[in-house]
Amino acid sequence: MKTSTINKEEIEKFTRIAEEWWNPTGKFKPLHKFNPIRIQYIRDSIIEKLKIKDKKKPLNKIKILDIGCGGGLLSEPMCRMGADVTGIDASSKNIEIAKLHAKKNNLKIKYLCSSPEMLKIKSKFDVILNMEIIEHVEDTNYFLKSCSELLKKNGIMFVATLNKTLKSYFFAIVGAEYVLRWLPIGTHEWDKFVKPENLVDLLKKNNLRLEKLDGMKFNLISDKWRISSDKSVNYIAKFIKN
């Protein structure tokens, strides 16, 4: 039986470039471009599901767990919208960067160096964010099982990842890493990409049902990401805990 979902090589890979997290033109530039659409999708989905009226602090007092939080690119905007945020990452360097940046911006975010199976909590979370993380873990099934156990009944889990298609190999690895140099070479391994139907099956086993599944596409002309019906490369999904 697996006791850890941490892939040491993956952690080392991101630890080496941790100083770059908050540089919008640095090694995480694609993630900075990606962030607005992720924030919008999460915020709008939570507002819709919980029928929230408060526009200024739409996520007020909602307990959010950001898994694989990195330097806090998602944790911070969630906190600004009023959420009670816990960010976890298996890289101590990432957590160090995230803590410093939050402190500098007077944001109260609880950052912990941990993986979901190691996290000891008193009360479960309303929302769990698994954004661009499942393609970097050691055992996807065990990872998602551990995440499910941290989520409240009727809680929401968001998962964003890469589809396992020939197109995703050429776009996300050959194109993004080797041709356009958007990402450091070796950022992704195609073998770890997950087909949407496989993700749905894995989460169904762990008491989570699919509520929404969308593609995400980058427009080279507008230089922006948008939600799309095309799930062949990037996709994002919303699951509800039974």
Per-residue pLDDT at 109: 98
In 3-state terms, what secondary structure has residue 230? coil
Per-residue pLDDT at 176: 63
Q: Give the closest residue to 128 by CA, choosing from 42, 214, 56.
A: 42
| pLDDT of 210 over the 60 cut | yes
Percent of the chain with pLDDT over 90: 71
- Say how many C-beta atoms besides its own lie within 10 A of residue 148's C-beta: 21
Q: What are the domain boundaries of the chain?
A: 8-241
Per-residue pLDDT at 182: 64
Flag the least confident range among 63-72, 96-105, 165-174, 196-205: 165-174
Mean pLDDT, to the nearest integer, of 11-23? 88
More confident residue, 22 or 169: 22
Mean pLDDT, to the nearest integer, of 215-238? 93
pLDDT tens, residue by residue, 122-152: 899 999 999 999 988 989 999 999 999 999 9
Per-residue pLDDT at 183: 66
Q: Which CATH class is domain 8-241?
A: alpha beta
User: Secondary structure of the chain: what % helix, strand, coil (to 5)?
Assistant: 40, 25, 35
Scan for tokens 């997950």, then name that residue: 194
| pLDDT of 25 over the 80 cut | yes
Q: Could you give phi then psi for residue 226, rounded to 5 degrees?
A: -145, 160
Mean pLDDT, to the nearest integer, of 65-71? 97
Round to whole Å and give the CA distance between 197 and 106.
41
Q: Give the closest residue to 208 by CA, choosing from 132, 130, 150, 156.
A: 156
pTM reported for the whole predicted model: 0.92
